């Protein structure tokens, strides 16, 4: 009796390889799902491009505190200041896309710098994945109380009568303050003398001290000095009167239809897996709905913006539109770094 043998038809071998490939793919997907399901299992670094104690840092730390509660791990703010936020932004663009390094930033880095600064070493659209939009910090135009103007109309008249002599402080060449100043000058057909500082704090103190005539900065920062009689608030950049400073008229009320608000948002590096981005988005939205978080945001003067349905995809639509909008503003106002 001959021993039995099993013969493999060539088709059987092909089918075996196909089944094996399918199994390996399934196992890889299952492993990836398990990794994503465990995320996060260690602290997350939140990089910002400005120094500790500044306006962006203050907001970032509020966001980090409440996001940590939702995620169950520490969210640690890491300051990498310099170059109008570009040092931090480039760092995030080149980071490992695993969800453990994210960026909290403002419009300067993604909507302004790419249109204004030559040879930016990142692509604001392609190198990042938006997570969520927080909102914006309403800003007011202020002047030193002794400048001799009490209204926005008087300020514009003074600037027109003295072209290039009314000094305007900002937190740096190419900064959000610089762009707003230039857009305001273009919109009112005036010319200011730009006085850049190394931060918004020193610029503000210069206005309070009477060393600089004017500045644009968050209403929450300006209000105490306005109450003390050191500065005057002439206009606010919200569509309607802002509840923190209801006595201050909007630009539109005073005849200037201009939009100067700067968004604040969270980003991850390109290539970050969608389940991780969506997890961060859901945690962020839940965190910002917490009454304690809402009270913290109101205290520091943040107006919430929920882009579309609040998803990461809706955040991208909103931020892409802002990128285009500020590019148009910069080109139309002929804003340069000079």
For residue 217, report the phi and psi dihedrals to the nearest 5 degrees.
Answer: -155, 170
221: closest CA among 209, 238, 233, 213?
A: 233
Q: List the pLDDT tens digit at each of the 338 positions of the chain.
A: 444 444 444 555 566 566 665 565 445 444 444 445 799 999 999 999 988 887 889 999 999 999 999 999 999 999 998 887 899 999 999 999 999 999 999 999 999 999 988 889 999 999 999 999 999 999 999 999 999 999 999 999 999 999 999 999 998 877 888 899 999 999 999 999 999 987 788 899 999 999 999 999 999 889 999 999 999 999 999 999 999 999 999 999 999 999 898 999 999 999 999 999 999 999 999 999 999 999 999 998 899 999 999 999 999 999 999 999 999 988 887 887 75
Please give the pLDDT value at position 171: 81
Structure token pair of residue 140:
């007011």
For residue 164, give both structure tokens: 């290039």
List of domains in the chain: 42-135+262-332 (3.40.190.150), 139-254 (3.40.190.10)
Tokens of 293: 């978080």
Asked if 259 and 111 count as a contact pair (C-beta separation under 8 A), the reply is no
Q: How far is CA 28 from CA 25, 65, 277, in A?
A: 5, 34, 20
What is the sign, positive or negative, of the torsion defined by CA atoms of 325, 253, 335, 177? negative
- Environment class of 41 (CB within 10 Å of its CB; exposed 0-12, middle 13-18, buried 19+): exposed
Distance from chain centroid for Cα 168: 23
Within 10 A of 328 (CB to CB), how many other CB atoms are there?
10
Q: How close are the terminal C-alpha atoms of the chain, in Å?
A: 98
pLDDT for residue 12: 57
Within the chain, strands assigned E span 44-48, 75-79, 101-106, 128-136, 139-144, 167-170, 193-196, 214-218, 231-236, 263-269, 303-304
CB 26, CB 18: distance < 8 Å: no
Q: Two tokens at 128?
A: 């990042």
Give 330-334's long-range contacts (Cβ < 8 A, gap of 24+).
Answer: 330/112, 330/115, 330/116, 330/179, 331/115, 332/186, 333/182, 333/183, 333/185, 333/186, 333/187, 334/186
The Cα 101–Cα 46 span in angstroms is: 6
Supply the pLDDT for residue 35: 47
Beta strands in 52-192 (DSSP E): 75-79, 101-106, 128-136, 139-144, 167-170
Contacts of range 295-302, beta carbons closer than 8 Å, 24 or more positions apart: 296/62, 296/65, 296/66, 297/62, 297/135, 299/220, 300/58, 300/59, 300/62, 300/137, 300/220, 301/137, 301/138, 301/218, 301/219, 301/220, 301/221, 301/244, 302/59, 302/134, 302/135, 302/136, 302/137, 302/264
Cα 208 from Cα 86, distance rounded (Å): 29
Residues 6+ apart with CB under 8 A from 278: 311, 312
């Amino acid at each position: 009796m001959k021993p039995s043998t099993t013969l493999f038809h060539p088709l059987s071998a092909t089918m075996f390889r196909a089944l094996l490939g399918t199994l390996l793919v399934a196992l890889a997907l299952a492993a990836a799902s398990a990794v994503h399901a465990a995320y996060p299992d260690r602290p997350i670094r939140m990089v910002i491009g400005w120094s500790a104690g500044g306006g962006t840092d203050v907001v970032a730390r509020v966001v980090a505190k409440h996001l940590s509660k939702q995620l169950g791990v520490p969210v640690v703010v890491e300051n990498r200041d310099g170059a109008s936020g570009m040092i931090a932004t480039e760092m995030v663009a080149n980071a490992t896309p695993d969800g453990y390094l994210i960026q909290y930033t403002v419009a300067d880095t993604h909507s302004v710098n790419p249109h204004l600064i030559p040879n930016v070493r990142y692509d604001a659209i392609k190198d990042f994945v938006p997570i969520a939009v927080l909102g914006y910090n309403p800003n007011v135009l202020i002047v030193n109380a002794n400048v001799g103007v009490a209204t926005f109309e008087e300020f514009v008249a003074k600037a027109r009568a003295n072209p290039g002599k009314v000094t305007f402080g900002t937190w740096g060449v190419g900064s959000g303050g610089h762009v707003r100043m230039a857009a305001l000058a273009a919109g009112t057909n005036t010319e200011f003398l730009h006085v850049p500082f190394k931060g918004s704090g020193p610029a503000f103190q210069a206005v309070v001290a009477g060393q600089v005539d004017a500045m644009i900065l968050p209403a929450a920062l300006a209000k105490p000095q306005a109450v003390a009689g050191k500065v005057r608030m002439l206009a606010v950049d919200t569509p309607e009167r802002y509840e923190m400073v209801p006595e201050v008229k909007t630009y539109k009320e005073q005849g200037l239809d201009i939009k100067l608000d700067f968004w604040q948002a969270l980003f991850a590096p390109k290539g970050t897996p969608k389940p991780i981005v969506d997890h961060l988005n859901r945690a962020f939205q839940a965190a910002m709905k917490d009454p304690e978080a809402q009270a913290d945001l109101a205290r520091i003067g943040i107006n919430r913006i929920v882009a579309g349905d609040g998803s990461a995809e809706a955040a991208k639509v909103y931020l892409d539109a802002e990128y285009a909008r500020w590019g148009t503003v910069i080109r139309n106002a002929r804003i340069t770094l000079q």
